[in-house]
Amino acid sequence: MALLRRKPVPTGDPAYIVEARGLQKIYDTGKVRVEALKGIDLAVRRGEMVAIMGPSGCGKTTFLNCVSGLDAFDGGEVIIEGTSITRMSDNVKTAYRARRMGFIFQSYNLLPVLTAVENIELPLLVSGTRPKEARRSALRVLELVGLSDKAASRPAELSGGQRQRVTIARALVNDPAIVFADEPTGALDSESAGHLMDLLQQLNREHEQTIVMVTHDPGVGARADRIVRFRDGAIVGEELADAASNGHTPAAAGLVPAYA
């Protein structure tokens, strides 16, 4: 990873699929007021794989929630594919999320009464896809994550790694342009984590899916094109992967090497 200094990028550049500009988020419970995001500037290039790292409580999950339109924010701007999210109606935002985004969040649990394939096709059925077509898409992504033989298994009959792969298949079933992942390997042993990262990297390279993931595992972070370091609600540093070390052309989103 090479050290970088940050360079401002012009707003609305089509090279960027999602941009945060001076993003601020305050949690105010009446008793306590937490400035969770203190003006985050981050532009993610199409097809880029970005890892967000930093200590617990530094705002990583809050950032993912705000930048993906799941949560409101208090200042700044989020621009998704050229449109400011604050100018989108709730309906448009929801439709955009269903169509273009995938989420691998630990809180997005699988429904225990449904089989793997039923869990995966559910978001498609909810958004109006015909059952036959939904089933076909669900089986396709199950194959992609190597779980074709577990289509009829319920979550309780699967290992932690297999469950996480079902969660990933569900996130990918709509062929999203951008995937947000919050600690995707958090609950996995190192072997399963390695397989999962192989899969995410393959999706990123072969399907040009943009991936924004939060991780505290340096091994996971090292496989991204770029590591963005958060601390106390702010970005405190960035590193760009060496093309040689991960075999992928790094997408230098508004960044120049420190020695340039």
89 contributes a contact to ligand ADP by CB under 6 A: no
29 binds ligand ADP (CB under 6 A): yes
Nearer to ligand ADP by C-beta: 56 or 91?
56
57 touches ligand ADP (CB under 6 A): yes
Query: Helix axis angle, 160-172 relative to 190-206, nearest 10°?
Result: 20
| 59 binds ligand ADP, rule: CB under 6 A | yes
CA distance 224 to 55: 18
In terms of CB distance, is 29 or 91 closer to ligand ADP?
Answer: 29
Q: Report in angstroms how near the CB of residue 26 gets to ligand ADP at its nearest.
A: 9
5, 11, 12, 27: residue in contact with ligand ADP (rule CB under 6 A): 27
Burial class (CB in 10 A: 0-12, 13-18, 19+), 93: middle
Nearer to Mg ion, 61 or 174 (CB): 61
Shortest reach from residue 235's CB to Mg ion, in Å: 16
For ligand ADP, the closer of residues 47 and 59 by Cβ is: 59
DSSP-derived secondary structure letter, 208:
-
Residue corresponding to tokens 């793997």: 116
Are residues 38 and 244 in contact, defined by beta-carbon separation less than 8 angstroms?
no
- In this chain, which stretch among 10-18, 39-47, 58-66, 227-235 interacts with Mg ion, using CB under 5 A? 58-66
Sign of CA dihedral 145, 43, 77, 207: negative
Residue found under tokens 């991780």: 215
CB atoms within 10 A of CB 136: 13
What span, in angstroms and rounded, lies between the C-alpha atoms of 171 and 123?
Answer: 9
Q: Which is nearer to ligand ADP, 34 or 114 (CB)?
A: 34
Q: Is 61 in the site for Mg ion (CB under 5 A)?
A: yes
Binding region for ligand ADP (CB under 6 A) = 27, 29, 34, 36, 56-62
